[in-house]
Structure 1
Amino acid sequence: MPFQNPSREQIGTLLQAAGNIAVVGLSDKPDRTSYMVSHAMQSRGYRIIPVNPAAAGQQILGETCYASLADVPDPIDIVDVFRRSEFCADVAREAVEAGAKTLWLQSGVFSDEAAAIAGDAGLTVIMDRCIKVEDAVTGAGSRR
């Protein structure tokens, strides 16, 4: 059976329950999509945890940036991935090890291997969807 994202209602419920979103590939450059989406989610009340080895130890959006998910000291509800599809299986393995609840691959990002790794470990998997758009459409962040 081909991969299918959760329903919009399920995504809304997932977002309402989420607090900490680790963003893998979050850029420190304000003109990048990862930064703009993360900034919008932060303004809606989510805590954004930057994960980018090139910026580890720096502050992005007022939060300490970590080199990997394994370095994040806090619980992770959602791992939001701004990486090319070929890197997602490794990110999925890290997400499982970090105890994340959801693996979210941004718009244009697909990986059946990552979906299988995360799904087999019990994580909810969402692919090819923008978290900012889904948050706005479902109204999940409006309660914050």
Structure 2
Amino acid sequence: MTILTDPKAIVRVLEDSKSVAVIGYHADSAKPAHYVPEYLERQGYKVYGVNPALASRQAKAFGHPVVSSLTELSVPVDVVEIFRRSDKVRDHLPEILAMNPLPKVVWLQLGIKDDAVAAELSANGIEVIQDRCMLSDHRQYL
């Protein structure tokens, strides 16, 4: 199973990734699911919001329409970042594995972990980062 924990691997992901789809993106700027993606956008990443409730209201995030599902993205992404409770991560496995091309990395935000889903993603060639904050790691390492 490829769960990345080594700082060098985290830095490689942060440096090599150019686009991030954020499952659970939130419109409230006080919530981590908004200010973390906003930070990433300011750092030069292309960020795409994924949230069915916001998509139904035709919301935009960083100049892109918010979509209901990863399968609605019209561009490939390097990282799928998940801002959902650990018990909801499995719900997104089918849509992640249906992406073409597959993302290189699935990043479960701080406090989010599912070893069984991580094993399935790894078996499909996707690296996994669990229980880490992309914003904090970016600030610390880059």
TM-score by length of 1: 0.90
Deviation readout 1:48-68 (Å, 9 max, x if unpaired): 100000011311233210000
Q: Does 1:94 align with 2:112?
A: no
The Cα shift of 1:4 comes to: 4.8
Aligned positions of 1:104-119 closer than 5 A: 104-119=107-122
Is the contact between residue 92 and residue 115 of structure 1 (CA under 8 Å) also seen in structure 2?
A: no
Secondary structure, counterpart of 1:135 in structure 2: helix
Aligned positions of 1:1-144 closer than 5 A: 4-56=3-55, 57-98=58-99, 99-139=102-142
Unmatched 5+ residue regions in structure 2? none
Q: How many residues align?
A: 138
TM-score by length of 2: 0.91
Q: CA RMSD in A?
A: 1.5
Letter in 1 for 2:79: I
The Cα shift of 1:73 comes to: 0.7
Deviation readout 1:1-40 (Å, 9 max, x if unpaired): 9x85331111111111111100000001111111011111
Unmatched 5+ residue regions in structure 1? 140-144
Percent same amino acid among aligned pairs?
Answer: 29
Is the contact between residue 93 and residue 118 of structure 1 (CA under 8 Å) also seen in structure 2?
A: no
**Counterparts of 1:44 and 1:125 in 2: how far apart (Å)?**
22
The Cα shift of 1:87 comes to: 1.2
Secondary structure, counterpart of 1:74 in structure 2: coil
